[in-house]
Chains A and B, each alone.
Chain A
Amino acid sequence: MDESSLPWIILLAPLVSVAVIVFLTQGSRTISAGVSILAVLVSFVASCLVFHAPDPAGVNQITWLDFPALHVPIGVTIDQLSKTMLIVVTGIGALIHIYSAGYMKGDDGESRYFAGLSLFMFSMLGIVLANNFVMMFIFWELVGVSSYVLIGHWFFRDAPPAAANKAFITNRIGDFGFMLGILMLWLATKSVVFTEIEKSLGVSKFENLNLTAATLLIFCGTIGKSAQFPLHVWLPDAMEGPTPVSALIHAATMVAAGVYMLARVFFLVQASPDAQWVIAFIGTITSLMAASMAIQQNDIKRILAYSTLSQLGYMVMAIGMLSKEAAMFHLFTHAFFKALLFLGAGAVIYGMHHEQDIWKMGGLGKKMPLTCATFAVGTLALIGCPGFSGHFSKEMILAAALSGSKWTFAAALATAFLTSFYMVRLFVVVFLGEPKTDAAKHGHDAPPVMALPLVILAIPSFLAGYGFFISHFVPLHGTEAPGFVSLFAFLAFASGAVMAVLLYRGKKEDPIHIGLLANKYYFDEIYAALIRWTQELLARQCGRFDRWVLDGLVRLLSGGTYAAGFALRSFQVGNLQAYAFLFGAGIVAFLWYVVSK
């Protein structure tokens, strides 16, 4: 087999799986699950082969649209960036598929669920492989669709469909900006292919292109998909979906697509200094704000969701600080330990019969030793405990923050402190102390099919930061953090952890209560009010326009047509003469115009 066909296999295997499940195996849950897992394994193996092959020299693409004005190929990019991302997406994807087989057992919609997962894999791999904006945008939207399907998997309940809608609509806002950005670039450079745009940007300055505006519009896509402030509101709600989905889509891969996209078009960010500041600012705000919200949440998945927001903010900030390596490094390690944490949370929820409130748990460490141990690894990695993967990547992020200003560094440090605080709080409340409910007393470890992915994920969560591991994936050349950064990072980690232990050990309910944080800074309420208000205003104006202008026009025309038809129909002969007369009148009018000077 030709090596250049491997990327296509990676991309198409999940699509084939979707087709097979939808058209053939919808009846049998087991076969559907098998097909989907097989597909993702094929993609994974092919990804590994691609990973080990040297970067291909030529362009691997076929022409899709060959319009005079618009030339869009379907092509793949294989470079260090996409190779790393392929491994992350297919590797974690494969584990989560396997985990899902256990978690979703007995669910009526299992076939639909696996079709959705495969569709997601297809779209996500499309984003990773895309070599042009149009293709990326299409897969970008497809990812949104599959996320919608999966969040709303339990559509018969109240919350999931609402959450799915919220996610979809919020993303639309960002995507609109993304689309406008693509259009701006296309109109200026006459190309949508990344490499061609990069080349033409390097060769000449475009008079008609406001590069900062274009970059910021493209960044809107990231704001939506990676749930950055102010469009972050959808991600915590998206936790209404099944937990493996949260792990795969809303922690490890899809939400990281925004960061990946920025890394892919890094040349744009580099070329527009003004945009860099906005990006860094948004990232910093998001990370700090989300971390502060996390400390007052009680739902285990929501805490992790806010943590995801906060870490994504870190990555975006790093991009804004022009440290692509730091962002990708953190993306890489974060994908493993956050997936691990979510799967661990899933195991807890599974063991607790779908109870998600951490204050109804407690003492689970003894009941579920394996889950507890792996969860501990994930937590330590996330809070940046020395020796764990998160420590290394977080240090690089902090170093990147330092390169901006002391304020960003302080904000990043505060975030690190808060992260440590809320994660230890979570761990202490859930796994230590006494069981607080009956369900917690009878908790048990997950079945092997779910435990295996936990164990496998725990390994890279620990190791991924070390040089011998990461150097294969993200080239980190000569980016050593200054010593005092490490010191500050350690202090933030240690103080947060200690404070959380002291505050929460043996407590039956939350000793502190900060309404502003528990209510997420009232963002949902503000947005709801804002939307209601503008919508009402807009609707009223539209209604007016509709009633007076459109209706009037339609009525005038239809009434006119009817009246004319009626009048003419009563005179069969007059009808034809009238037609001929109108015809002649039209000609006379035109001729008069033409011959007149």
Chain B
Amino acid sequence: MIKDYLPILIQAVVAIGFAASALVVSIILGKAGKRNPTKDTAYECGMLPEGNAQPRFSVKFYQVAMLFILFDIEIVFMYPWAVVFREFVRAHHPVIFWSMLSFVSILTVGYVYAIKKGALDWKK
């Protein structure tokens, strides 16, 4: 069983080895230049950068992104459900249908709440 993991080990060794050797080689071959403020700027020529490098995004951005991911992930649950649905109902019990319905309805409540609270209203 341990043998099965050998390729993973080899890959890990190669990955670490590549990164390490690249750093080592650059230190050996490269010449460290002198540092000055101009050299440290983002662009050595052209306009001077203005403002913060990490500007604040509106919280709306995160909100919508989060809601999107949330409802997106819920859909993922439906795929396996849909795949086994017919077989399951035939073999066992239609409870699987009601389970998913309750799941979706709880989601719907969340959705209604989000809309009502104006979470999806970009301008508000």
> Are A and B in direct contact (Cβ within 8 Å)?
no
Chain A interfacial positions (CB closer than 8 Å to B): none
Chain B interfacial positions (CB closer than 8 Å to A): none
